[in-house]
Chains A and B, each alone.
Chain A
Amino acid sequence: GAVVSQHPSWVICKSGTSVKIECRSLDFQATTMFWYRQFPKQSLMLMATSNEGSKATYEQGVEKDKFLINHASLTLSTLTVTSAHPEDSSFYICSAPGLAGLGAKNIQYFGAGTRLSVL
């Protein structure tokens, strides 16, 4: 199946610094990618839709200036958490839609996720 690579897998940073997370589709092109945030023992919360060559679409309540998304190529989307604070600590996961075979359409392939801890 399709593979989505996400780096780094975990990061610890000081409050006030920025952190960049990369999401790559390894064997397929993705004009659209999704960024989720997941708190412990909770569901996936969609933050934004990353669109190749155009601006990202943010969900209601997500700060655009806080979470910068860039989708510069058909295989790479990046999420930058700017001026991170402890409340930004979370598990961030990206995904890309694709085909799963046997007729399945628009299923999502997820990256391994990034655990961000802001001190």
Chain B
Amino acid sequence: GQQVMQIPQYQHVQEGEDFTTYCNSSTTLSNIQWYKQRPGGHPVFLIQLVKSGEVKKQKRLTFQFGEAKKNSSLHITATQTTDVGTYFCAGPEGAQKLVFGQGTRLTINP
């Protein structure tokens, strides 16, 4: 079946440093989605990318979808303590199912 790999598994940064997580799919995706799960919380939808090579920004967060629509990245500029959490990418499987990556846990030293 479809696999979504995400790296790194963990990332610890100093507040103010940048952070990037990468996502790779074993198959071409119609779209890719990103979710954030705060410690003790539940995943919350961040963004969906649909077009090949698409780049979207949300304040300090920049999301990219690869040209081949098999990989994606999330980059956070100048991290803040509020960015702490686990970031998951997810690709669709079938009509409504999502296959989630393993997630990247971001911790920040204030």
Contacts and interface: CB of A to CB of B under 8 A. Distances in A.
B33 interface: yes
Interface residues on A, range: 20 to 34
A3 to B, nearest CB: 12
B53 to A, nearest CB: 17
Interface in A47-96: 49, 93, 95
Contacts of B35: 108
B44 A106 contact: no
B7 to A, nearest CB: 13
B101 interface: yes
Contact of A43 (B42, B45, B47, B100): B100
B97 A46 contact: yes
Contacts of A110: 42-44
Given A44-B88, A107-B33, A93 B42 contact: yes
B103 interface: yes
B22 to A, nearest CB: 15
B42 A104 contact: no
| Interface residues of chain B: helix, strand, loop or mixed (majority) | strand
A111 B41 CA distance: 10
B92 interface: yes
B101 A100 contact: no
A27 to B, nearest CB: 16
Choose among B31, B47, B88, B98 the residue with the greatest number of A CB atoms under 10 Å from its CB. B98
Contacts of A41: 105
A43 to B, nearest CB: 5
Nearest to A110: B42
B55 to A, nearest CB: 15
Interface in B71-93: 88, 90, 92
A32 B42 contact: no
Interface of A: 1, 32, 34, 41-44, 46, 49, 93, 95, 97, 100, 103-113
Given A43-B101, A43-B103, A105-B48, 10 more contacts: A41-B105, A42-B102, A44-B88, A103-B50, A106-B92, A108-B33, A108-B35, A108-B43, A108-B45, A112-B41
